[in-house]
Amino acid sequence: MNVMNEILEKKIFTQEKYEEYIRSCMSWPGLSEEKKQEYEKDMNGGKCGMCGQEWNRVEVNTRLANYFHFRPSCECSKNKDKEKRMQFAEKQVVEQLGIPEKYAMCTLRNMDVNVKPDTAAAIEEAKRFYLYGKFKTGGLVLSGPVGVGKTHMAVAILKGLAIAEHMRGRFVCSSDIIADTINEQKDYIKYLTEYDAVLLDDFDKLATNKASEGSWTYERIFSLINGLTNRNRIILITCNYASEGDFKSFFGEAISSRIHEACLFLHVPGENYRMRDVK
């Protein structure tokens, strides 16, 4: 018998060896129940836990192995892994963007569109801005009453820009811009203008401080908006104003005209809103 034949005869991984190997895997301490079931199905066959399709029997006959086992006949587990990877990537993006926990899951896909027609129209408009308009206009101002989903839309767009366009973005609670703790950080405004896209949530909170021209607060807001627009950054603003005119009366000409030039104004009419359950 020549050497080749000898190797061919020595099927190292026989059915017996394979089953021994699987049993040893199954006896690992700390093995999850899910993994255990997978090993069990690999050896004896079974059904996909998600779609119920029977696993296929697969013969392995190579130079060194001769045994059979079972593999899924569907794509479910592959898709599940993909989903897990995407969820992980999304979690990282949410952290990088500084998005608060309660808005972490917001996407354009899970906006509730079963709302009054004019609210649904505003949602569609926001989607259009994201898909086609974001490089034409420098930003989006979403105005309207509390609880209509403005922040949801803005967060979804910010996340979309980060994931699909690889933009560096930042979620900012507008009141932080003038908060004492942040005042001490001299370069905070400059730091924000370094981002490609900045979401200023509850922007009207700044106006309640009666930011009169010349005051420290006013100058701070002005230098932020001026810095962002001069650098062609994308600005996403949410506020409770009823109209564009409110901007002028609260922030004065210099700030409001810059925002007006750079941004598309979109009014989201009042209506209670909830996140759609999308899986």
> Please, what is the minimum distance in Å from the beta carbon of residue 48 to Zn ion?
3
The answer to whether 55 touches 73, Cβ cutoff 8 Å, is: yes
Residue type, 227: G
- Establish if 49 lies at the interface with Zn ion (CB under 5 A): no
Residue type, 16: E
Choice between 55 and 129, CB closer to Zn ion: 55
Q: Which two tokens stand for residue 132?
A: 């086609």
- Contact residue for Zn ion among 8, 12, 51, 58 (CB under 5 A): 51
Q: Which two tokens stand for residue 176?
A: 């932080």
Q: Which stretch binds Zn ion (CB under 5 A): 21-29, 48-56, 108-116, 252-260?
A: 48-56
- Establish if 47 lies at the interface with Zn ion (CB under 5 A): no
- Contact residue for Zn ion among 25, 26, 74, 121 (CB under 5 A): 74
Residue type, 212: S
The answer to whether 126 touches 265, Cβ cutoff 8 Å, is: no
CA-based end-to-end distance of the chain: 61
- Contact residue for Zn ion among 76, 93, 121, 182 (CB under 5 A): 76
Q: Which two tokens stand for residue 9?
A: 């005869």
Q: What angle do CA 159, 220, 166 make, to 5 degrees?
A: 20
> Please, what is the minimum distance in Å from the beta carbon of residue 47 to Zn ion?
8
- Establish if 121 lies at the interface with Zn ion (CB under 5 A): no
> Please, what is the minimum distance in Å from the beta carbon of residue 39 to Zn ion?
17
- Establish if 48 lies at the interface with Zn ion (CB under 5 A): yes
> Please, what is the minimum distance in Å from the beta carbon of residue 155 to Zn ion?
33
Choice between 65 and 74, CB closer to Zn ion: 74
Phi, psi of 255 (to 5 degrees): -75, -50
Q: Which stretch binds Zn ion (CB under 5 A): 16-24, 55-63, 74-82, 256-264?
A: 74-82
DSSP for residue 265: E
The three-class DSSP label of residue 11 is coil
* Contacts to Zn ion by CB under 5 A: 48, 50-51, 53, 74, 76
